[in-house]
Homo-oligomer: A and B are copies of this chain.
């Protein structure tokens, strides 16, 4: 729905809920797509959302479940925790098992066990199986409701099978071909079924070289593969090459949004669960450790300055200009690190070719350092003193060179050791560059200050 119509609808719903006209509000919701219901619910105040959703669950359980699976996970879990447990169970049973697993996986362990115990066995086993895979892996996000047939099945038999279980599986556009022990042999697109004669066996028209992932493949890697090969779904196999599930492109898009958010946040020192529309207390809790880390880094700088206090006392201008050199070093480090972390994220940089990037970024640091250093020299020389300008220019050249090298090396090394390059680089690189820059600046100053008075 267009944003404008959605906003109008939201206003009406809010008005009805506040007036206590629940039945009318629900009537409005029923006419909408599940996604739109989810968006409207997300925009309500928490208590309005809970009241309305409770009533909606009793009115149309299936649609309520569909709406839940379109919500942000955090919002959905919070909302479910306010319902009666029996209602939650019934609602979870309406969901595809991958969506149910996503929600149940985020609930407190005790509640999770209780819900799984009360769910019907055929639902809970699927969910439990998915929850058995590690977080952020293909196994965790796949759906076991795929469409697979034997290689000897003919096109017309396949079409009959498809017609029979039409509502049973998600977004099917591929049909997977397996042998009697469920080993993945090939893939046939729905279009191939339309294009080939009814009596053709699937093994004649299937593509045998299937692009696939394993249950333990990282979800970011799955997203990269789907994006690279323009797939609509990717099959997931277990360690015995047996088909375990599929991941459809709509879930991949969610993964991509989530991973992009994680990268953006990590580079800025923000926790992945921090949301603009979330609660203030959550944000405070999530941001404090990062602010503390930043404070620690800043105090480390103070320690360096204290070490050179005698030099600084020589000239107050030397102190006043400290933020300039530190800012430029941090800024250059952030630029390099951002480009490199994104390059790693998009799969453009790998370990073997990383030396080329280090070389390039070092060169970029040196050249920008020379240019910005020269400019700063002129400004400081005209404004204050040419010798001070010289010290700052020299510091900047070294600082930007270091920023280029560290900004490349540290993320690449972290990735090499299996750590998230974005997460740790942001603090590491900037702090290290700052401290080294301070040592350069005050070190050069204390050497030269013997020869002239600033």
Contact = CB atoms under 8 A, between A and B. Distances in A.
Interface stretch (A18-26, A81-89, A237-245, A280-288): A280-288
Q: Kindly state the interface size class of chain A when it binds its partner.
A: 35 or more
Contacts of A356: 277
Give the oligomeric copy count: 2
B230 A171 contact: yes
B324 A299 contact: yes
Interface in A360-385: 360-361, 363-364, 367-368, 371-372, 375-376, 379
Contacts of A144: none
Nearest to A170: B230
Given A268-B334, A338-B270, A372 B295 contact: yes
A328 B264 contact: no
Contacts of A312: 316, 319-320
Nearest to A278: B360
A195 interface: yes
Contacts of A194: 159, 162-163, 190, 193-194
A110 interface: no
Given A195-B162, A294-B328, A328-B298, A335 B288 contact: no
Interface string A288-300: 1011101101110
B327 A298 contact: yes
Contacts of A249: 232, 249, 253
A232 B335 contact: no
Contacts of A313: 316
A331 B294 contact: yes
B191 A348 contact: no
A444 interface: no
Contacts of A43: 353
A208 interface: no
A33 B209 CA distance: 11
Contact of A350 (B3, B33, B331, B408): B3
B323 A326 contact: yes
A280 B358 CA distance: 11
Interface string A145-185: 00000000000000100110010000111000000000000
Given A288-B372, A323-B323, A364 B283 contact: yes
Interface of A: 3, 7, 33, 35, 39, 42-43, 159, 162-163, 166, 171-173, 190-191, 193-195, 226-230, 232, 249-250, 252-254, 256-257, 260-261, 263-265, 267-270, 274-277, 279-280, 283-284, 287-288, 290-292, 294-295, 297-299, 301-302, 305-306, 309, 312-313, 316, 319-324, 326-328, 331-332, 334-335, 337-340, 342-344, 346-350, 352-353, 356-357, 360-361, 363-364, 367-368, 371-372, 375-376, 379, 408
